[in-house]
């Protein structure tokens, strides 16, 4: 494999890039998603006995802490990828995330060390969140810059495909362990097992990413001496408006994604009174559907354009979110799965087009940093807080379906951004 920065690389198959970048992305989001999937067990172990809702809110507050620091990770890793290369940053972030996730699996509980337990949990989440700030922007940039020009929607969609596949494995593993060990054993020590897998998975992801050369566009920047000396400054100077547009695009992605993946399992258990096994089944089936549907949507965005999919999915959230939660509230596990899948398909349609749409807002010289900064700020403000806000809405209003209105509001913000802020960049409607 050609050393970074020494010579132009040999031509690399985009499929090989998809596997290498995607496998690392799988490891990254398997690690991050475990916290949300196992949030009910974490609440039992890291916070004092008492009000179950208060413990769950505290658990989601710690979850949000990892998102609060993500913009700092984006400020650091995004421009760094524009300066030293995408591949190196991808290797760093997967290692940091795996180590911090493994640490969660070996932390002492509140019963053992008192208030030190949640403090250590916060520290692990902060490291996790800081590293995650460099993941999506670098992965999307790598996939976009290696992809054939007419298939960039399809190839960039695999960042989300592998991410959702990781959530499927995490949710399925939680389901398997809960069904095998039972709630009592899971609450005692079984919840630790998925976190302990983070270390060997992380080492595998690190190996794959160190075997990946950097992108042709980055090597062209190196060859012509156009690598940005101050990519952070250049991002704000030349890409400021586009960065604001990208932040608006990410609002519904952050809220809907993290509500579905992180909030819904505990919502089905605590609010709608499904069993843990039933809630994990619903989450696993939904996320599997999303993982399968995202590349289909990505390929469609190459044919008809990004905007039609972005508009259709955001409008779908406005119209269908409340009915989907109504289905979940009826107490039938099958209908709960249907409601989850409805929301999942809307997310898939949006994510299939979003990756390429974000990358196409910026030139390669500032692409990774200009994506990372607004992306992580928006995800932090809207995605990281979504499980907490959704839980709080139910507790404050007493209305079980109130989280639907938060998703709908996020969809309105993004729909306005799509209609007013971006031009078509792919398909027959590009101009």
* Residue 1 placed within a domain: no
- Those residues with Cβ within 8 angstroms of residue 376's Cβ, 6 or more apart along the chain or in another chain: 70, 71, 73, 74, 78, 133, 137
Count of the separate structural domains present in the chain: 1
Q: Are 22 and 162 in contact (CB under 8 A)?
A: yes
* Residue 428 placed within a domain: no
Q: Are 317 and 346 in contact (CB under 8 A)?
A: yes
Two tokens, residue 426: 């792919």
CATH assignment at residue 239: 1.20.1250.20
**Distance from C-alpha of 137 to C-alpha of 23, rounded to nearest angstrom:** 15
Which one, of 293, 308, 284, lies nearest residue 419 by Cα? 308
* Residue 148 placed within a domain: yes
Please give the model's pTM, rounded to 2 decimal places: 0.84
Other Cβ atoms within 10 Å of 60 Cβ, number? 28
Domain that holds residue 381: 14-421
Maximum C-alpha span of the chain: 63
* Residue 427 placed within a domain: no
Which one, of 371, 323, 322, lies nearest residue 159 by Cα? 371
- Those residues with Cβ within 8 angstroms of residue 330's Cβ, 6 or more apart along the chain or in another chain: 336
* Residue 240 placed within a domain: yes
Q: Are 140 and 371 in contact (CB under 8 A)?
A: yes
- pLDDT of the chain along its 431 residues, tens only? 333 334 444 566 777 788 778 877 787 778 777 777 787 788 888 887 666 677 777 777 777 777 788 899 999 999 999 989 888 998 899 899 889 989 999 999 888 988 888 889 888 888 988 998 888 898 899 999 999 989 999 999 998 899 888 888 887 888 788 889 988 898 899 989 998 988 998 888 888 888 888 888 888 988 888 888 888 888 888 888 999 999 999 999 999 988 987 788 888 988 998 988 888 888 888 989 999 999 999 999 999 999 999 999 999 999 999 999 999 999 999 999 999 999 999 999 999 999 999 999 999 999 999 999 999 999 888 987 888 899 899 999 999 999 999 999 999 999 999 999 888 877 544 54
φ/ψ of residue 391, rounded to 5: -65, -45
* Residue 78 placed within a domain: yes
* Residue 8 placed within a domain: no
Q: How deeply is 229 buried, as exposed, middle or buried, from its count of CB atoms within 10 A (0-12, 13-18, 19+)? A: exposed
Other Cβ atoms within 10 Å of 420 Cβ, number? 9
CA distances (Å), origin 248, targets 228, 243, 378, 414, 421: 26, 9, 8, 5, 9
* Residue 4 placed within a domain: no
């Amino acid at each position: 494999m050609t050393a970074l920065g020494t010579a132009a690389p040999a031509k690399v198959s985009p499929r090989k890039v998809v596997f290498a970048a995607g496998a690392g992305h799988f490891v990254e989001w398997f690690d991050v998603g475990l916290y949300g999937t196992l949030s009910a067990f974490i609440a039992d172990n890291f916070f004092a006995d008492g009000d179950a809702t208060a413990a769950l809110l505290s658990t989601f507050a710690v979850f949000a802490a990892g998102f609060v620091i993500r913009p700092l990770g984006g400020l650091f890793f995004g421009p760094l990828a524009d300066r030293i290369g995408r591949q190196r940053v991808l290797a760093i972030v997967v290692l940091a995330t795996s180590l911090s996730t493994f640490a969660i699996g070996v932390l002492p509980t509140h019963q053992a060390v008192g208030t030190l337990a949640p403090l250590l949990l916060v520290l692990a989440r902060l490291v996790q969140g800081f590293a995650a700030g460099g993941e999506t922007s670098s992965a999307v940039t790598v996939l976009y810059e290696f992809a054939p020009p007419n298939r960039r929607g399809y190839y960039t969609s695999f960042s989300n495909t592998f991410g959702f596949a990781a959530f499927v494995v995490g949710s399925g593993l939680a389901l398997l362990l809960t069904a095998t060990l039972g709630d009592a054993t899971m609450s005692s020590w079984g919840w630790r097992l998925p976190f302990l897998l983070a270390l060997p998975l992380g080492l595998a992801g690190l190996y794959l990413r160190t075997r990946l050369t950097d992108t042709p566009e980055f090597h062209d920047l190196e060859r012509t001496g156009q690598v940005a000396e101050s990519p952070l400054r250049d991002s704000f100077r030349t890409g400021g408006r586009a960065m604001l547009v990208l932040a608006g695009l990410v609002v519904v992605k952050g809220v809907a994604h993290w509500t579905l993946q992180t909030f819904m399992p505990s919502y089905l258990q605590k609010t709608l009174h499904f069993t843990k096994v039933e809630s994990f089944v619903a989450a696993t089936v939904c996320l599997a559907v999303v993982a399968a549907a995202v590349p289909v949507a990505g390929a469609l965005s190459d044919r008809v354009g990004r905007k039609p999919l972005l508009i259709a999915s955001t409008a779908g959230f406005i119209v269908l979110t409340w009915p989907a939660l109504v289905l979940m509230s009826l107490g039938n596990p099958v209908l709960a799965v249907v409601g989850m899948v409805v929301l999942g398909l809307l997310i898939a349609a949006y994510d299939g087009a979003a990756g390429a749409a974000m990358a196409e807002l910026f030139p390669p010289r500032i692409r990774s940093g200009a994506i990372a900064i607004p992306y992580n700020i928006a995800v932090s403000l809207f995605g990281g807080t979504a499980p907490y806000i959704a839980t709080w809405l139910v507790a404050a209003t007493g209305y079980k379906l109130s989280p639907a209105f938060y998703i709908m509001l996020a969809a309105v913000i993004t729909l306005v951004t799509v209609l007013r802020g971006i031009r078509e960049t792919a398909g027959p409607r590009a101009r």
